[in-house]
Every structure is written in structure tokens, then in C-alpha cells.
Amino acid sequence: MMRKNIIEFKDISRFFQVGTETVKALREVSLQIQDNEFVAIMGPSGSGKSTMMNILGCLDTPTAGTYNLNDQDVSKMTDNELADVRNREIGFIFQTFNLLQRSTALENVMLPLVYAGVSKSDRIKRAEEKLSEVQLADRMNHRPNELSGGQRQRVAVARALINNPSIVLADEPTGNLDSKTSIEIMGLLEEIHKLGNTIIVVTHEEDIALHAHRVIRMIDGRIASDEINKNIKTVKDYITV
């Protein structure tokens, strides 16, 4: 069965004015990402990968070009419309976790459901289920400062999945984690991908990118290469007998 294009970029450009200079962060980028793909976007600082992530995540709009997300043209939406799309369609996982420090793990995971207008009883039930899925059933009432870095990232993963988004967008998801915990988090993303989610990881780490099935490399605001990964790494590759 042919898979559907969930993301379509057509000639996307993003320019910023810095004083008298125009910075061309993205230059006529076109790409398609299908439902249930696992994609890594790589590139050095200044390559345009962060700008691409912001547009993919509906955190920014392009200067030119069109962006279709799940059959919606989001390239010219208002801020309020983009906020609604983000809450429904995209689950974010950030390098710095972005958790509310005074809220428990359960409250952090429930937050997107508040904006979605879900009843309190349903919010609690769904958040408990997601935290159990990421092996944090015994940490639901702990605050972020009572959790390890890996546990905080698991809370962030549970929050990203709470609205059953079309896309999980992970920005340097292992950037603040040690090697062992990084492997655990990538294993979690592998499991999420197997369940049918589209995963997009933005990273500068080659080892992390090799978990993806497709690797897009950015240079100077353009796609330098877009290739199928023939040497996919999985968590099993790190297990020693």
C-alpha cells in the first residue's frame, strides 16, 4: 500500500533581516516526508537545520514557498491557527526538556490536553497511561528536580505523544544526556516509530542520526543530500554479550 505524504515543502525559503544584511537561512528547499518515516536532519551550525525544524514544527512561517502538513497549507496561517495545528498535529521533544519545574510529571504530560479542552478525568487517565508506557508509572507525582535527565526526557516523550500527533519532532533529544541514557531514549523513539508515528530528529550527532531510516544533510540553507540509511543502528547494536 502506498504511503501518504504527511509533509510537503515546496520551494521553502526563510530570510531574516539583521541590520542592513539579509540572512538567507533556507533557500528554496523542497522535500516530502511520508507517514511513518523515521528521518534525521543533520548539518553544522548555520546550515539551516534549526530554521527548517521551526518551520516543520509550525513555530515559524516561511518567507516564500508552501508547506502542506497533513493536507493543510500551514505556510500562511496566523499565529493562533499555527498554535492549534501544533497542539493537534505535532509532539515536541526538546534538548532542554522544557518541563514546568513546579509541576509534577503527571501535570506536565497533561498540559497539551488542557489546551485541547479535554476533561480533567480524561486528562489524568491518558497521562497516566502515557507515563506507564515510558516506564515512569512510579514517578508520576515527582517534579522535574526529583528526576534524572533520562527520566525528564521520558516525561517529555510522554507529553509529546499525549495528543496522538501526526509527527514527533525531536530537537537534539540526546544533547543533554550521557551515552547510556541517550541509547535508552533512542530505543524509545524506535518503539514509537514501530507503533506508526512519523519521527523527525534534528541532530548534529552522527551516531544519533544513524538510528533514522533516512538522513537529510543541510549546508548553507539547502539540502546537500537526502539518502536512505542502509546501515540503520538500533539499541540492539549496543548490547554486548
**How many beta carbons lie within 10 A of that of residue 241, not counting itself?**
2
Tell me the pLDDT tens digit for each residue of 10-21. Answer: 999 999 998 899
Three-state SS annotation for 154-221: HHHHHHHHCCCCCEEEEECCCCCCCHHHHHHHHHHHHHHHHCCCEEEEECCCHHHHCCCCEEEEEECC
pLDDT band at 104 (very low <50, low <70, confident <90, very high): very high
Quick check: 225 and 40 in contact, CB under 8 A?
no
Mean pLDDT score, 220-234: 94
Share above pLDDT 90 across residues of the chain, in percent, rounded to a whole number? 74
Q: Is the predicted pLDDT of residue 52 greater than 90, yes or no?
A: yes
**Which band of pLDDT confidence, cut at 50, 70 and 90, is reported for residue 214?**
very high
Instruction: Tell me the average pLDDT of the chain.
Output: 92
The full length of the chain comes to 241
Locate cell 517534579: which residue?
A: 143
Cα–Cα distance for residue pair 152/143, rounded to 1 Å: 9
Instruction: Look at residue 147 in the predicted model and tell me its pLDDT.
Output: 95
Q: Round to whole Å and give the CA distance between 127 and 110.
A: 6
Q: If pLDDT is split at 50, 70 and 90, which confidence band does 28 have?
A: very high
What is the Cα–Cα distance from 72 to 238, expressed in whole angstroms? 40
Q: Grid coordinates representing 58? A: 509550525
Whole-number pLDDT of residue 238 = 76
The answer to whether the beta carbons of residues 42 and 170 sit under 8 Å apart is no
Contact between residue 162 and residue 127 where contact means Cβ atoms under 8 Å apart: yes
Residues 6 or more apart whose Cβ sits within 8 Å of residue 227 = 214, 215
pLDDT at residue 126 tops 70: yes
Domain ranges of the chain: 36-54+79-238
Residue 241: predicted pLDDT: 41
pTM: predicted TM-score of the whole model, two decimal places? 0.90
Q: Rounded mean pLDDT of 178-187? A: 88
Task: Please choose, from the candidates 71, 73, 91, the residue with its C-alpha nearest in 3D space to the C-alpha of residue 81.
Answer: 73
Summarised one tens digit per residue, pLDDT across range 151-172 is 999 999 999 999 989 899 999 8
Q: What is the CATH number of domain 36-54+79-238?
A: 3.40.50.300
User: What is the CA 67 to chain-centroid distance, rounded?
Assistant: 17
Query: Residue 27 and residue 39: Cα distance in Å, rounded?
Result: 20
Q: pLDDT band for position 239 (50/70/90)?
A: low
Q: Per mean pLDDT, which of 69-78, 94-103, 182-191, 213-222 is the most reliable?
A: 213-222
| 54-67 residue pLDDT tens | 999 999 999 999 99
More confident residue, 219 or 241: 219
pLDDT beyond 90 at 82: yes
- Give me 41's grid cell: 536532519
Mean pLDDT, rounded, for 105-127: 93
CB-based burial of residue 44 (10 Å sphere; 0-12 exposed, 13-18 middle, 19+ buried)? Answer: exposed
